[in-house]
Amino acid sequence: MLPTAVIAVETFLASQTARHLEDVTKMIRPLSMGKDEDGEFIIREAVPGDIGDDDFLAEPKKETHIDRAQLGKARNQRLMPGDLLLSVKGTIGSVALVPEEAAVDGESGFWTAGQSFMILRPKKDEISSIALYEYLSSGLVSEALRSLAYGAGIPTIPIKALKEFRVPIPSAEDEAAI
């Protein structure tokens, strides 16, 4: 009864050291940013269309004006180089790396993620961004992630299921090769 991709992923993980996604990453769920046309600060909010052909996040096109009261909330979901964005709503399974040139400094103009994403910030002592990206961007893994989604209108992966999604932890040699 399990989808073929789920069986294939589970078979692969059976021969690997694997951990739950929540154990190897800081998972940040973006919150809605209320718009304030007169807001003095600008954030650049990433959407799935900002994922480039090279699977790096391009500079987000969507600019949102916010006021000082919303700035703290926006900072909590600021994207950092090496973060991964995983689409968990709508276009399930799309993944992108946040590049080194992502705007992170200052109070205005920094990059955030839209609500269709989950921000995954790999814990440095657990797994590298590249190794996690390579796993999550695999066709079988993307299909396995899509099998977790529910919803007739806009499919969504439940946060609990995403936290418990298992990922392989590569050896130091395998990670260096990746």
Among candidate residues 82, 90, 104, 101, the one with its CA nearest the CA of residue 146: 90
Most confidently predicted of 30-44, 93-107, 152-166: 152-166
Task: Give the rounded percent of residues in the chain with a pLDDT score beyond 70.
Answer: 97
User: Region 58-70: what's the mean pLDDT?
Assistant: 88
pLDDT, tens only, 116-141 = 999 999 998 889 999 999 999 999 99
d(CA 88, CA 148): 10
**pLDDT band at residue 101 under the 50/70/90 scheme:** confident
Do the bridges between strand 111-113 and strand 41-46 make them parallel or antiparallel, or are there none, so unpaired?
Answer: parallel
**pLDDT band at residue 80 under the 50/70/90 scheme:** very high
**pLDDT band at residue 76 under the 50/70/90 scheme:** confident
Among candidate residues 147, 171, 133, the one with its CA nearest the CA of residue 4: 147
Give the per-residue pLDDT at 159.
93
At 124, the amino acid letter reads: K
Q: Where are the alpha helices (DSSP H) in the chain?
A: 4-14, 21-24, 68-76, 129-136, 139-146, 159-163, 172-177
Task: Give the rounded percent of residues in the chain with a pLDDT score beyond 90.
Answer: 57
Give the per-residue pLDDT at 117.
95
**pLDDT band at residue 169 under the 50/70/90 scheme:** very high
Tokens matching residue 107: 């109070």
Task: List, in order, residues 6 or more apart from 35 with CB less than 8 Å away.
Answer: 64, 65, 66
User: Region 85-104: what's the mean pLDDT?
Assistant: 90
Tokens matching residue 66: 């916010």
